[in-house]
Structures are given as C-alpha cells and as structure tokens.
Amino acid sequence: MNPLIHSLHPYPFQKLAELIEGLTPNPEKPLIKLTIGEPQHDAPAIVLETLAKSLGGVSKYPSTKGELPLRDAISKWAKRRFHLEKLDPDTEILPVTGTREALFAITQTLVGEKQNSLVVSPNPFYQIYEGAGILAGAELHFLPCGAETNYKVDYQLVDDATWQRCEVLFVCSPNNPSGSITTLEEYAYLIEKAKTFNFTIVADECYSEIYFGSQAPLGLLEACEILGHKDYKHCLIFQSLSKRSNLPGLRSGFVAGDASILKPFLLYRTYQGCAMPIHHQDASVAAWNDEEHVIKNREIYTRKFDSVLEILSPVMPISKPEAGFYLWPKLSMTDEEFCTSLYQEESVLVLPGSYLGREVEGTNPGSHHVRMALVAEESECVEAAKRIRDFLSRR
C-alpha cells in the first residue's frame, strides 16, 4: 500500500464523533447539529425539473471535458459575475464533479516539478488541501490566519525560500471557517510571487455567492482582469453549485483560468475518470443561468444571521462574517470543553475549531474557536442560538 496513506489525518467529523462518544445530549431537548456545512435550503425547482427531463443522459458516457452548452453557461456566468472580458469555454474552463475532487486532483497534477515541493495552505483550512498535498508527496506549509491577524493570512511574512519551493498555494476566499475575503492588494502581491517563483494559486471560491449586502466578494480571475493579467497565468478558480444553489448532491462545479494548466489537467482527469453525467450537466446549465434563486438564498442567510447574532452578540464576541455561512466565535474556554458541555447541557453540536487547524510552533490558530454552520432553517438556528445564550449565561 502507498505508505503516504498513513499520513492522512482523520477527518474533523470523525474526531468529533470520538470526542462525544459515550456522552449523552440533554434528553429533554432535540439535538441540533451546527457541524456540517451542508446547505439545507431548497434546491431550485428549475434545476430539479431539468434534471428529471434529462434523465435519458444516463445511457451515454459523458466526456471529461463536458458538453459545450455547460462550458458556455459557465463562461457567461463567470464573465457576468467577475466582470471578465473573456473566458474561453474551450480552453479556460473545465467542469468538475464538485470542488472537493478537483482540489485534490489539481494538486496531483501540479506537484512534482520542484525539489522538496511545498503545498502552502491557510491554517485553519479545508482538510482536502492537506490530504491532497500529502498524497502528492509534497510537504505542507501552513500560514496562520487566526485571531491575532484578524483571521487573515499575512503573506508578507512568507519568505522567498518558501515561495521558491511552493508548487500550489491554496487560497480559500471567502474563507472556511472565518469568512474573510482576499483583497485585490493581496492578490496583486500573490500573482507577482507566483510569476517570479512559478507556482499556481488555487483559489477555492465555493462560498463566493453567500454574502451579505450588495458587494459581492472579489474573485481571483476578477483580480486578474483588474490587474491586466489577461491570460490568468498561474491562476485557477474553483467554483461550485453546492453552496450557491443548494445542490451539494449534484456534485457540480468548475475550474477556470490558466489554459496552460487546464490542458494537462484535462489529460489527468481523463485517467481519473470523473466526468460529470450528462443529466447533471443539463441541470447545472439551468443553475448557472439562473440568478434569482441565488439572490433569494442570500436573503434567507441574511435574515438568519441577523436573528442569530441578535441573540448571541450580548453573550459572546461574535460578528457577521464577510461572507459564507459559518460563525467562528472566539471562546474563553477550550473549544473541546465548549463543545462537549454544550452538547450535554443543551443538545447543540458544534465543531471544535482546533480540529480544522494544525499546531505549528506550539500554536493551533483554530483552538479556542468553534465553527457553527447556519445551514438549517431559521427557526432551528434561532433555537440553537437561544440555547447557546442560556448555556453561556449560566457561566
């Protein structure tokens, strides 16, 4: 067996299951889980109708590159959303079956050219970045983005020796778990470093459509456009319908950007065998073409965050994230203690923040935080918030 398999870490939810094993939630209160970032709002009717009509697609092998109508719909959406002059559906876009597999696969495609390759990731982070780097044979290098730096990575602190070894830089913007957004200045800096040191910026943007107010988060290709970096060299974005359109089970997203990377990535994907079924492609076209359901979705999240924050802000330091659907409060007790006591007293389950981070030089930037996903119906999120308020008020 590949010995690197043994270096993979257990997933955060497995650690959580072990943490609460043998503990009993309060039997008088039904359990509310704020742990998994799985959208619970309704899937758009137009997508479900299209899916049902296209079921005949199961009798065909789909191509890895995807049908032109899908790549066309994606191109039009991305151009509208990120104010791009051009995004070639033939060379600058590939459909993927969710960003998870694509983030993993791109790392296998990109790592291997340099000596002592590094995969550079924010910390805390989406655990696929780490597993992808490990299995590609790279070393992980974590950049802290905890409370001390206002939940941002300070890229100026990364030395050139690190950039020299870097092959993949993961940027998660909007960030899971903190919701922070990478700015134009940060992207300008990173693009220059990527050009100088020849690495790829992999921008995981799967939360980009969940935001509050009228200002949509900046995307990496949008930054390229503004900066006149028209060929998107060294830059890739990863987009998904999972959060934007409440379709986590459709397994549909795309990668777009540097055509010189997407060509060998397509070859890699042909062997990996992860083409999107034709009926999922048709349903995805319907989803990318419709913005109304996305606007409604944001309104539901906005109402939910407002209601929950009104209840929680008097008892804990908490604020609306810039984007995304997580709350990421700092705690005055350890995250595991908060999690287990809340579970036992109030039957509310949250994810300890230290499970989303790694300890580097004695510090885990996720510790003393918990992640709460506000994905359930508003009434359930409000009930959870009231129980957390009561829990904290007793302390």
Ligand X SMILES: Cc1ncc(COP(=O)(O)O)c(C=O)c1O
Comparison of 34 and 311: residue with beta carbon closer to ligand X: 34
126 binds ligand X (CB under 6 A): yes
242 or 297: CB nearest ligand X: 242
Among 32, 33, 34, 37, interactor with ligand X by CB under 6 A: 37
- Provide the minimum distance between the beta carbon of 329 and ligand X in the complex, in angstroms, as a whole number: 18
Question: Which one, 109 or 121, has the nearer CB to ligand X?
Answer: 121
Q: How far is the CB of 243 from ligand X (least distance, A)?
A: 7
d(CA 114, CA 118): 9
Least distance to ligand X, CB of residue 211, Å? 15
Q: Of 213 and 249, which CB lies nearer to ligand X in the complex structure?
A: 249
Identify which of residues 144 and 248 has a Cβ nearer to ligand X in the complex: 248
- Could you say whether residue 117 binds ligand X (CB under 6 A)? no
- A 10 A CB-CB count for 79 gives 15
What is the x/- site pattern for ligand X, positions 196-215, by CB under 6 A?
--------x-x---------
240 binds ligand X per the rule CB under 6 A: yes
Residue 37: CB minimum distance to ligand X, A? 4
When binding is defined by CB under 6 A, the residue of 173, 176, 281, 347 that contacts ligand X is 176
Helix runs in the chain, H state only: 12-20, 45-53, 68-82, 99-110, 127-135, 160-165, 184-197, 220-227, 241-244, 259-272, 278-289, 292-312, 335-346, 378-393
Considering the rule CB under 6 A, would residue 276 count as an interface residue with ligand X? no
The answer to the question of residue 66 lying near ligand X (CB under 6 A) is no
Which tokens belong to 269? 């994907």
Tokens at residue 66, please? Answer: 């995807």
Q: Does 172 bind ligand X (CB under 6 A)?
A: yes
Q: Which of 12, 248, 257, 365 binds ligand X (CB under 6 A)?
A: 248
Contact call for residue 33 and ligand X (CB under 6 A) = no
By beta-carbon proximity to ligand X, the closer residue of 252 and 347 is 252
In single-letter form, the type of residue at position 311 comes to I
Q: Which residue's structure tokens are 């999972």?
A: 242
Q: Does residue 166 sit in helix, strand or coil?
A: strand
> Is 286 among the residues that bind ligand X (CB under 6 A)?
no
8 Å CB contact between 234 and 201: yes
CA-to-CA distance for 132 and 100, rounded, in angstroms?
10
Contact 170, 129 (CB under 8 A): yes
Of 175 and 347, the one with the shorter C-beta distance to ligand X is 175
Q: Does 100 bind ligand X (CB under 6 A)?
A: yes
Can you read off the two tokens belonging to residue 27? 């039997």
Query: Within its chain, how far is the Cα of 118 from the centroid?
Result: 21
Q: Which of 131, 144, 253, 329 forms a contact with ligand X (CB under 6 A)?
A: 253
* Window contacting ligand X (CB under 6 A); options: 56-64, 95-103, 150-158, 258-266: 95-103
Residue whose pair of structure tokens reads 């050139």 in the numeric block? 160
Run of H or E including 152: none
Edge-first strand order for the sheet with 253-257 is 93-96, 253-257, 235-240, 200-204, 166-172, 118-123, 139-144
Q: Which helix (H) or strand (E) holds 32?
A: strand 32-33
Contact residue for ligand X among 107, 200, 242, 367 (CB under 6 A): 242
Q: Locate tokens 């007790």: which residue? A: 333
* CB closer to ligand X out of 229 and 358: 358
Tokens 């799985």: give the residue. Answer: 38
Give the residue among 292, 342, 277, 209 at the shortest CA–CA distance from 61: 277
Binding segment for ligand X (CB under 6 A), chosen from 18-26, 64-72, 93-101, 116-124, is: 93-101
Measure the CA–CA gap between 278 and 270, rounded to whole angstroms. 16
Contacts with ligand X by CB under 6 A: the residue count is 13
Q: Report in angstroms how near the CB of residue 395 gets to ligand X at its nearest.
A: 30
| Contacts to ligand X by CB under 6 A | 37, 98-100, 126, 172, 176, 204, 206, 240, 242, 248, 253
